[in-house]
Amino acid sequence: MKLNTLNPIFQDSEFKNTIAHKKVLCIKCKTLIKHEVLVDISDSDFNHSPIDFYFNYRILKCINCGTISYQTKTLCSEDVYQIGYELNGDPIYDEAATYSVFPMRDEETAFSIEFEKILPTEIYNTYEEVIVALNNKMPLLTGLGLRTLLEQIIKYFGNSNDLGLILNQFEQDGFISTKQRALLDDIRYLGNDAAHRADTKSRKELILHLKVLENLIQQLFVYYNLDQAEIKQTKSIKLKPSPKYAIPVVRETTQKRKPKKKL
């Protein structure tokens, strides 16, 4: 094992390789950002076989918030490809290394920093726990968390303890569509199956359910802003006539069409 770098902060000014070449998703800043390399250890495994393996272990520090992360890098000799030449004729290589960062995080399910600003603290804490469970491959806890998160979001605006009743009211008032209501019902059943039958879903399905709830958060807490006082205000608002054009008359399309007469 070869120790490349240990605490580059204490190296002399000529040492410049203190920033990781590849940006890392910071678990606190919730974005891809540069990280400082505090510890850099490399190792290799040569077993006299055609394939060689290289390993790299790093302790990283976010340059913005200072959060510490641990990163591993695994590279196989077959994953190194020549992609061209330098002007002096030296070959240029690219590598398809595998990176892992701990605590685990995923760009696809990265924490939304905007949600932290708009959600009440207790709801955002649940949202964070769902992400952590999903990233750490705990599908059972993720299913339970999604069901809990849905209930917290809906009951924040509803006046009933019956989740189904509130969803019915939301659908009738037009805050959610019929198709969206069906997707939210799927999340209800997902949580019930996880709690009573220990039934789990695939990661792909859980991410889809998470995206449904994130969309619901955007609707209720950003676009609609369902505060009871504001709901009353929006119901009393009417369109003002345009100074140039009259308000267009919209034909009612919700009425059922009469059946055609049989020939």
Quick: pLDDT tens for 85-109.
Answer: 788 888 787 777 788 888 888 776 7
Residue 92, judged by CB atoms within 10 A of its CB (0-12, 13-18, 19+), counts as: exposed
The Cβ of residue 261 has, within 10 Å, a number of other Cβ atoms equal to: 5
Q: What's the average model confidence in pLDDT over 109-124?
A: 82
Bigger pLDDT: 205 or 116?
205
The model's pTM:
0.64
- pLDDT tens across 23-81, in order? 898 988 888 899 999 999 888 766 656 677 888 899 999 999 999 999 998 888 777 77
Q: Where are the beta strands (DSSP E) in the chain?
A: 2-6, 24-25, 32-33, 35-45, 53-62, 68-76, 80-85, 91-95, 98-102
Mean pLDDT of 184-205: 89
Rounded to an integer, what distance in angstroms lies between the CA atom of residue 192 and that of residue 174? Answer: 26
Residue 205 has phi, psi (to 5 degrees) of: -65, -40
Helix orientation angle between 203-217 and 121-135, rounded to the nearest 10 degrees: 160
pLDDT at 211 over 70: yes
| Per-residue model confidence (pLDDT) at position 140 | 94
What's the token pair of residue 80?
Answer: 């190194």
- The dihedral through the CA atoms of 208, 214, 215, 217 has a sign that is positive
Beta strand pairing status for 98-102 and 68-76? antiparallel
For the residues 11-23, what does the mean pLDDT come to? 63
Helix (H) or strand (E) holding 235: helix 228-236
Where does the pLDDT of residue 126 fall: very low under 50, low under 70, confident under 90, or very high at 90 and above? Answer: very high
Residue closest to 211 by CA, chosen among 76, 115, 85, 102: 115
Cβ atoms 213, 187 nearer than 8 A: yes
Report d(CA 115, CA 124) in Å as an integer.
7
